[in-house]
Amino acid sequence: MNTVQMVGEVRERPFRPGEGNRVVVKVRVHDDESGRFDNVEFDSFGAVGDFAIRLFSGDRIAVRGRLEGRVFDDGDEIKIVANHVELVRRASDAPANERHHHDDD
């Protein structure tokens, strides 16, 4: 089974490239093993995309999806496609000491 699950913080407002159906969301995810943060991007479509486009920078979300491979002339790409996105906490509801300032990335 091909399943991806993660919890992270939205890095910037989600957007629709070319005003199409796809919504791109960039998330900052903490790696518990290394202690560092990884920047992950996922695509969402349909009702999931309609929900994701309303997220704001700093919102904490839980994402479940799948890996999807694409083949191009200049190489291959693996993307995450979200099947489910859930709002865990709005950025405005986070305690001040937990708010991440993206300027220091």
DSSP per residue, 22-73: -EEEEEEEE-TTT--EEEEEEEE-HHHHHHHTT--TT-EEEEEEEEEEEEET
pLDDT at 65: 97
pLDDT in tens, 7-34: 999 999 999 998 789 999 999 999 889 9
At residue 104 the predicted structure's pLDDT band, cuts being 50, 70 and 90, is very low
pLDDT at 17: 92
For the residues 63-81, what does the mean pLDDT come to?
Answer: 85
**The tokens of 105 are what?**
């990335």
As a whole number, the mean pLDDT across the chain is 88
Q: From the centroid of its chain, how far is CA 98?
A: 18
C-alpha torsion angle, residues 105, 83, 3, 63 (rounded to 10): 30
Asked whether the beta carbons of 57 and 91 are under 8 A apart, the reply is yes
pLDDT at 73: 78
pLDDT at 101: 52
Distance CA 89, CA 96 (A): 13
